[in-house]
Amino acid sequence: MKSAVTEEPPVPGAATVKTRRFSVSLVWIVPIIAVLVGISLVVHNWLQQGPTIEITFKTGEGLTANKTEVKYRNVVIGKVSTVELSDDQKHVTATVQLVKHAENFTRKDSTFWVVRPRIGAGGVSGIDTLFSGDFIGADAGKEGARAKSFTGLEMPPPITYDEPGKRFTLHTSDLGSLGVGSPVYFRKIPVGQVVSYQLSKDGKGVDIEVFVQSPNDAFVTNNTRFWNASGIDVEAGANGFAVRTESLSSLLVGGIAFRAPPFNPEDQVASEDKVFELFENEQTALAPPNGKAQYLALRFDQALRGLKVGAPVEFLGVEIGKVVSVNLDFDLKQRSFPVNVGIVIYPQRLGNAHTKLLKALKHNPEDEQGAAEVLGMFIDNGLRAQARSGNLLTGQLYIALDFDPKAPKVTFDPTARPIMIPTVPGSLEQLQEKFEVMVDRLNRLPIERIANNLDANLVELRKGLQQFNNRTLPGVQGTLAEVSKTLQSANSTLADDSPQREQLTQTLDELGRMSRSLRELADYLGRNPESLLRGRPKDAPADTLKPSRN
């Protein structure tokens, strides 16, 4: 198509100027607009495109290129673009393309894991993936440094970084039945969970990290006590059996409980990452503080079957420590095998008695030499250690520290470490010795001679009984029969209507009158004794000596 050029007549006195106009065909407008739209989409996509990261997993289970999504709080923040096997064929590398607003997930401490159906200590998780498919879960870190390569977690973390609450570290001797996801209870209400655990640096214990959710983390104070609430706590006491457990969940998967002792003046909320001790049970956790430990050594010349490490140590019935070692030794001089027992005691458990003792003796608990001198004074007064039976059914033993006034004097070395406490035989051994003495005395008795004498006496007694049965007993039976006949005759004689009964009644009346007359005569003679010599006075009444008819 050609454009038309309009020519106008020239103006007189002016130069003639020729102009030419170009026009674009409408056919080219649509492709140009499409190109511009495509360029804008490419630019927009390039501007919205986020960083690319690589995540390493042990297996590629649940990972599919251009399909598996990366989610945070169920919001898609990226997608897996490729899944490749590593050169050493030991792991799988997934390349993930994140969106622009997910740049925070490139922080160095960010975590990624594959969400799939799981059954663990915390319960059942990932059920929704049965319908939507597996996806990669993400949690943004807090560090400022960035990274492009990450190692995926095999198990989902119990909590995320942005969840409100506090983390605390618990130190214990062994893990027991606890695991990641085990619940943490406060007054039997779940308020947190175990997030990780690892061996301590010295390898002598386990450090457990727990997370307590807000606002319940305010109940964790500097004086809070944590204890293992796993399983069932069965206690047998004077009132019977007591069974305690936090919940059915703690019975199956373990758990931790915490609480502060009832009396806590000026107690404050614990800070983040504070380290606590994890006790074995509630009773031990809420007990008064142990204070400074004192290690002592004991030596027994007897068998100690039933004495185990952890057995209680009591002083006058109060538990103040435990047994920490039981070792067999050999005495070269005596050619015997004594038992060395190591114990640890906490004098502060004596309470007011310990306070008054320190005040009376002006003793500093930190002074080891002073403590040795105090124990030496107690040993001079008869302090001895003894292995006693704590349970007759199980045969378990415990160590009792008690005063024995009859104990022989011993030489005490206050410079020895650990301090050696003299011992006395156990209660069972003492009972055995008394029984042996009694048996020895019984063996000394002339049992055979006594038995022969008893046998001869029994023979004579048997003969006497035979004679009594054959001769004496028939005569006694005849006599009893005659007595019975006599009593029957007397009963018939003394019947109410018999003449003999009437005569007997008259005779008794006469005897009564005669008795009264004699009493009156005696009274008169008592008043007038001269009548025995002079006779009765003439002026005496006639009826003075007359018997009374009454």
3-state SS, one letter per residue, for 193-252: EEEEEEECCCCCCEEEEEEEECCHHHHCECCCEEEECCCCEEEEECCEEEEECCCHHHHH
**More confident of the two residues 278 and 1:** 278
Omega within 30 of 0 (cis) for the link into 9: no
In sequence order, what are the beta bridge partners of 172?
206
Pairing of strands 275-279, 294-300: unpaired
Q: Which of 386, 417, 382, 415 is nearest to 401 (CA)?
A: 386
**More confident of the two residues 191 and 14:** 191
Omega within 30 of 0 (cis) for the link into 215: yes
Mean per-residue pLDDT over the chain, rounded: 79
Residue 320 CB neighbour total at 10 angstroms: 21
**454-465: per-residue pLDDT in tens?**
888 888 888 887
3-state SS assignment for residue 451: helix
Rounded to whole angstroms, the Cα distance separating 344 from 322 reads: 6
Domain ranges of the chain: 44-151, 165-285, 294-423, 498-550
Tokens of 276: 């606590």
Average pLDDT over residues 260-280: 86
Query: What is the SS3 assignment for 414-435?
Result: CCCCCEEECECCCHHHHHHHHH
Helices then strands, each counted (H, E), the chain: 11, 25
- How is 109-143 classified by DSSP, letter by letter? T-EEEEE--EEETTEEE-TTHHHH--EEEEE----
pLDDT at 95 over 90: yes
Average pLDDT over residues 323-328: 92
pLDDT at 549 over 60: no
The DSSP output letter for 26 is: G
Tokens of 312: 């209680």
**199-241: per-residue pLDDT in tens?**
988 888 999 999 999 899 999 999 899 998 875 555 544 344 4
**290-321: per-residue pLDDT in tens?**
778 889 999 998 888 888 998 999 998 888 88
Tokens of 40: 């804008």
